[in-house]
Amino acid sequence: MANYLVTGAAGFIASRVSELLLAAGHTVTGVDNLNDAYDVRIKEYRLNQLLPRPGFTFLRLDISQREAIDQLAAAGSFAAVINLAARAGVRQSVENPWVYVDTNVTGTLNLLELCRMQGIPKFILASTSSIYGEDAPLPTPESASSDYPLQVYAASKKGAEALCHAYHYLNGLDVTIFRYFTVYGPAPRPDMVMFRFTQWISEGRPVLLNGDGEQSRGFTYVDDIARGTILGLKPAGYEIINLGGSQVITINQLIRTLEGLIGRKAQVTRLPRHPADMSTNHANVQKAGELLGWEPVVSLEEGIARLVSWYQAERSWAADLKTT
């Protein structure tokens, strides 16, 4: 069994990765600064699921600060760094670009330096499908251009990827980069469309829809993402791998699906399309299958139903989560 450093441990994907690692008998040192990028109550909820688990240690640190790396160096030896800490969200990155560079670029640099100094052999980076921009072929392979990001969020992830390649080239660090496609599931970020619409429809609030609703997404269930991320711990040299769902739906179809599950009609308020939004995304995951034996297994219908069930079970407080 191994000891892993998981950053962003109170986050949506990292908390699930930590749970699966612990269930497999590994130990996890989880790092998070519990910032207020979105409603911190959901971060505390996820973290509270982890804290009682044997083998889990939590450190409240900000990876963008160099002194945090000194503290991590003193925390023990790690078989790998799984860097899932990030400022996420394309729209917010337009409003506050500096914090995205601090966390996603400088934070990644600090963790790569930790690997170099401590001789940690493996580094996993969470990247994003947003990196492919607007005109990518569909379904999108890893070979598609990532040279023209549309938002600071995607640009910051491109910078983090470039740093990873430099440390692989200079120091022989084994690196696997995952480009995630539109992750959803229970206890998500409350600013994500799947949660926002679930909450708004459930509570009879206006459903704010940017654009005509014909934007489409290849939504990917969080357990599939977490499972694929852990498979990436195997030696790879340097690889960039898409993880994405096989089912694509429009936002209008998503609203109709949620209406059926919740049993309530959406009160849709249409707004102009946000300039940072991509019109579609859909992953080609052939490489993940070939290198990792991975494919998505949770159907969109089952995954959405699980999210709605979670929301209904946690509605007493989830109804008040801030969605912007």
User: What are residue 6's DSSP bridge partners?
Assistant: 30, 82
- Report the candidate in 211, 202, 215, 221 with the shortest Cα–Cα distance to residue 262: 202
Assigned token pair, 268: 């849709």
Assess contact for 246 and 285: CB atoms under 8 A: yes
Find tokens 């926002």 and name the residue: 196
Assigned token pair, 303: 């995954």
CA pair distance 61, 219, nearest whole angstrom: 31
Range 75-104 burial, b when 16+ CB lie within 10 A, else e: eeebebbbbbbbbbbbebbbeebebbbbbb
Which is it for strands 249-250 and 216-217: parallel, antiparallel or unpaired? antiparallel
User: What are residue 140's DSSP bridge partners?
Assistant: 283
User: What size, in residues, is the chain?
Assistant: 324
Q: Which of 100, 153, 221, 311 is catalytic?
A: 153
**Residue 153 annotated to the active site:** yes
Assess contact for 215 and 279: CB atoms under 8 A: yes
Taking the CB of residue 142, how many other CB atoms lie within 10 A of it?
18
Residue 242 is given by DSSP the state E
> What residues act catalytically?
153
